Amino acid sequence: SKNLLEIKHLKKYFEIRKGFFGKNVRILKAVDDVSFSIKKGETFGLVGESGCGKTTAGRTILKLYEPTSGQIFYDGNDISKFSEKEMFPYKKKMQVIFQDPYASLDPRMTVGEILGEAIDVHHLYEGKARSDRIAELVELVGLKSDHINRYAHEFSGGQRQRIGIARALAVEPEFIVCDEPISALDVSIQAQIVNMLEEFQEKFGLTYLFISHDLSMVRHISHKVGVMYLGSLVEYAGVDEIFLNMLHPYTKALLSAAPIPDPDESKKSERIHLQGDVPSPLNPPSGCAFRNRCIYASKICSEEKPVLKDAGAGHMVACHLY
Ligand code: SF4
């Protein structure tokens, strides 16, 4: 199938002002030259520690932030410079599910009002069709019809995330950015939400950008996986390829840091543990941004920034070891 989304050299920089009257301007390169594509009906898992730029990347793709430069092709159209008016039809096609279902739903609104509001923005249904649609959405995400008139604050985290999913689905989108949709939830609820997202992908032909800090979690839902570090993609490949043949030292360390044990015990000896802290994105190291934490770092790593190279069959990696 063809690409629904293609990101080319996407950059999102923020100006950070400090000092008297904000005289000292520093540039935070939150997303620094990121390129990848997502095929229609597939999931791209974007993984990295907090502060690596993955959430900013997701928001920039949705045009919640204006890109600093680069291109965002949605169904072949470059939307990166579209005005708000030009973006309007795309805001229906492109939706988001937020990490925190507590913060992202207005507690003073009922479920019916939350879903109705989403439907009304795009004038999709009116009158009886509108209330039927709300009832349909509520049922779809496994809530009960008498939940429609209850307030968001009356629900548990898992139920709220179901409401968040129903809100995203209300406008019949094609593409959804799922920004850490399960990390604020109880472990017992996480699988339910992931299964639900997978079921809807199948049912409605949805395409996902699934953002997570947990590499083992994206394994279940993704077709392709990209790993981000300090604003750059350091590795990406098909999900099976990346788990069978992990190349970048950071990707290996991320998997080792995951709470879920690697079922393949034989790989234990290869495990690398993350040492040190993520450097400040305002002051990234020269050369490879991972070098202060990498056990393989050599002279060239401080001199030259490694670029993404094809290590075979489209497995891309940015590391001087390859
Ligand atoms: Fe480590 Fe060097 Fe590879 Fe960076 S380029 S990940 S420092 S070996």
User: Does residue 243 lie in a domain region?
Assistant: yes
User: Does residue 322 lie in a domain region?
Assistant: no
Whether ligand 1 lies within 6 angstroms of the CB of 177 is answered as no
Distance 262 CA to ligand 1 centre (A): 23
Secondary structure percentages of the chain, helix, strand, coil, to 5: 35, 25, 40
The list of the chain residues with pLDDT below 70 reads 257-273
How far apart are alpha carbons 265 and 5 in whole angstroms?
37
The pLDDT of residue 281: 82
Residue span of the structural domain in which 225 resides: 3-317
Output the domain CATH number for residue 70.
Answer: 3.40.50.300
Locate the ligand 1 atom nearest the alpha carbon of residue 320 and give its number: 5
Helix ranges, the chain (H): 54-61, 84-93, 111-121, 127-140, 157-169, 187-204, 215-221, 239-244, 249-257, 299-303
How far apart are alpha carbons 40 and 167 in whole angstroms?
21
Whether ligand 1 lies within 6 angstroms of the CB of 249 is answered as yes
Domains of the chain: total? 1
Mutational test site, ligand 1, from 294, 302, 307, 316, max ligand atoms within 8 Å of CB = 294
The pLDDT of residue 216: 82
The pLDDT of residue 260: 46
Whether ligand 1 lies within 6 angstroms of the CB of 294 is answered as yes
How far apart are alpha carbons 160 and 156 in whole angstroms?
6
Summarised one tens digit per residue, pLDDT across range 263-315 is 554 444 455 667 777 888 888 889 999 999 999 999 999 999 999 999 998 99
The pLDDT of residue 99: 87
Whether ligand 1 lies within 6 angstroms of the CB of 88 is answered as no
Q: What are phi and psi of 217, to 5 degrees?
A: -70, -40
Reference 6, options 69, 79, 74; nearest CA is 74
User: Does residue 306 lie in a domain region?
Assistant: yes
User: Does residue 71 lie in a domain region?
Assistant: yes
Nearest 5°: the CA angle 314, 320, 26 is: 100
DSSP one-letter code for 155: S
User: Does residue 297 lie in a domain region?
Assistant: yes
User: Does residue 164 lie in a domain region?
Assistant: yes
The pLDDT of residue 268: 47
DSSP three-state, residue 205 = coil
User: Does residue 132 lie in a domain region?
Assistant: yes
User: Does residue 79 lie in a domain region?
Assistant: yes
Distance 26 CA to ligand 1 centre (A): 26
ipTM comes to: 0.99
Mutational test site, ligand 1, from 235, 251, 252, 288, max ligand atoms within 8 Å of CB = 288
Query: Which pair of structure tokens corresponds to residue 318?
Result: 């940015």
This prediction has a pTM of 0.91
Distance 245 CA to ligand 1 centre (A): 17
The pLDDT of residue 270: 52
How far apart are alpha carbons 192 and 161 in whole angstroms?
11
Whether ligand 1 lies within 6 angstroms of the CB of 297 is answered as yes
The pLDDT of residue 13: 96
The pLDDT of residue 269: 44
The sign of the CA dihedral 6, 252, 302, 31 is: positive
Q: Exposure pattern of 219-231 as b/e (b: 16+ CB <10 Å)?
A: bebbbbbbbbbbb
Whether ligand 1 lies within 6 angstroms of the CB of 316 is answered as no
How far apart are alpha carbons 138 and 129 in whole angstroms?
14
Mutational test site, ligand 1, from 229, 230, 250, 320, max ligand atoms within 8 Å of CB = 320
